[in-house]
Amino acid sequence: MDKKFIADFKVNEQINSVFMLRKKNLKLTKYDKPYLEMTLSDKTGKIEGRLWDDAEKYFEASDTGDFVLVKGTVDKYRDEKQLKIDYLVKADERAFRYEDMVRVVENRDKFYNDILVYLESIKNVWVQSLSKLFVEDTELMSAFKDGIGGKSWHNAYIGGLMEHTFEVMYISQKMCILCDEADRDITLFGAFIHDIGKVRELDPKKLEYTVEGGLLGHIAIGYRILTEKISEIKDFPYDLRLRLEHIILSHHGEYEQQSPVLPKTLEATIIYHADELVSQANAIKEIQVGQKEEGKIWSNYVTIKNRKYFIKSAKEEAWNSAKSENEKVKRLENPDEESDEIGDLF
């Protein structure tokens, strides 16, 4: 069976393809008739679906995280595409390719190698020893490479956790250049471990919370992973331990964002803001790329942020084609040279 991707859906098109079931809710119409509300996904995006007949039977037929064969019609509701589903059943594993269902970061090896370069640059012997314990834990690092950065909002794909971690490390070490009062070793390593609990919080195959993740959350899990590693190092400095534990416990930044404590050190503050910056930018970039259709300049309403986003790229606007004479000369003289305004890794 040929795979039909969500990004290619056209209104009124008939669909007969396999998708991941991300969410399901059994609801009632105003006439008390049950219907099934669902979210389906593949590597190209997500779409809401509604099934109106025999909803209770289909609700029991599959669980979130399952791959399901769906038959239906692409509809439009409040200017958004929606799938009117006639039938769905749990798919035979031979009926689809897993790589079509779940998005995967293609250059995971590069991200991991760049992270290792950062960690190898750490000079403090205590932080260096602790870093080696993490890197040499092959099971932990395998889960880290495959981990997802979030369930839905940012970096919600395989390899997304490592991609997000690299970005936080990159921004954090740049801040250490601007703010040399910050301890670079603590900041870099803290950025590396700030989301390490997500390796056990989220199942990358089902894009769902694990039981451990649902009960404890990644902050508590990450804190436990860190303390277990520290316990393997004799006479590890107590003050350094507190600083590293504080980074994990405070990296959500605000009580309203489920942070157990507020950032109270310079290094923790840098990591919180770097984390917030790259996660929000990634989420909005995904909205811009995923929802941009011909003639569409505003995103769908984003409930979690209480707004629509203006998704027309600035690169497409007429004013952006104007280049200074210096820029034109530079490009003519060095056509293959790409400028790096931020600089190298260090």
Domain boundaries, the chain: 6-100, 104-286
Position 102 confidence tier, pLDDT thresholds 50, 70, 90 = confident
Mean pLDDT computed over 295-312: 85
CB-side neighbour CA atoms (13 Å) of 320: 6
pLDDT digits (tens, 9 = 90+) for 103-131: 888 888 999 999 999 999 999 999 999 99
Mean pLDDT computed over 161-185: 96
Of 225 and 63, the structure prediction assigns the larger pLDDT to: 225
Mean pLDDT computed over 211-233: 97
| CATH topology for the 6-100 domain | OB fold (Dihydrolipoamide Acetyltransferase, E2P) (2.40.50)
How far is residue 338 CA from its own chain's centroid?
28
Distance, CA of 114 to CA of 222 (rounded, Å): 22
Q: Is residue 335 scored above 70 in pLDDT? A: no
Position 329 confidence tier, pLDDT thresholds 50, 70, 90 = low
Phi-psi region of 70 (alpha: psi -120 to 50; beta: other; left: phi over 0): beta
Position 341 confidence tier, pLDDT thresholds 50, 70, 90 = very low
Mean pLDDT computed over 320-330: 67
pLDDT-above-70 percentage for the chain: 92
> SS3 for 295?
coil
Structure tokens at 327: 């820029």
End-to-end CA distance of the chain: 49
CATH for 104-286 is 1.10.3210
pLDDT at position 176: 96
Distance, CA of 308 to CA of 310 (rounded, Å): 7
pLDDT digits (tens, 9 = 90+) for 233-243: 999 999 999 99
Q: What letters, b where the CB count within 10 A reaches 16 and e where it falls short, cover 74-100?
A: bbeeeeebbbebbebeebeeeebeeeb
pLDDT digits (tens, 9 = 90+) for 83-100: 999 999 999 888 888 888
Position 344 confidence tier, pLDDT thresholds 50, 70, 90 = low
Burial class of residue 200 in the structure, from the number of CB atoms within 10 Å of its CB (0-12 exposed, 13-18 middle, 19+ buried):
buried
Position 152 confidence tier, pLDDT thresholds 50, 70, 90 = confident
Cβ atoms of 65 and 20 within 8 Å: the answer is yes
pLDDT at position 15: 93
pLDDT at position 338: 47
> SS3 for 3?
coil
Structure tokens at 338: 């790409």
Mean pLDDT computed over 137-164: 90
Of 101 and 333, the structure prediction assigns the larger pLDDT to: 101
Distance, CA of 149 to CA of 108 (rounded, Å): 13
**Which amino acid appears at position 253 of this protein?**
G
Cα dihedral 120/122/123/124 (nearest 10): -130
Mean pLDDT computed over 176-197: 97
